[in-house]
Amino acid sequence: MDNSYNFNLNSQDGATLELAVIGITNFINAGIHVQNLPYRRNLDRSDYSLVIFQQKGMCFIKHAYLAALAHANVHFEVKLYLGM
């Protein structure tokens, strides 16, 4: 992951707080953690917040989770793109 996208996670939203509990306090480490989670379906594919709770996810939901995490921490330069 490109270090130019590294920033501290300071928001009080659920995703940021869940990561803080397991010692993750910056975006690069969040990305590495999410990348290393097993590639499996979550119970609700529309709820990206389940990625950390269930410790798994498919690529699209992991990407949505990371984009939402960045936006919650006021880093809108991180974008989620749809490829078809």
Please report the pLDDT score of residue 45 as a whole number: 87
Using DSSP, state whether 53 is helix, strand or coil.
helix
* Res 70 pLDDT > 70: yes
Mean pLDDT of 12-16: 94
What domain count does the chain have?
1
How far is Cα 67 from Cα 46, in angstroms, rounded to an integer? Answer: 14
* 36 band by pLDDT with thresholds 50, 70 and 90: very high
Range of the domain at 56: 3-72
Task: Look at residue 80 and tell me if it is in a domain.
Answer: no
Question: Which residues are bridge partners to 8 per DSSP?
Answer: 26
Q: How many angstroms separate the CA atoms of 78 and 43, rounded?
A: 26
Mean pLDDT, residues 56-63: 95
The average confidence (pLDDT) of the chain is 93
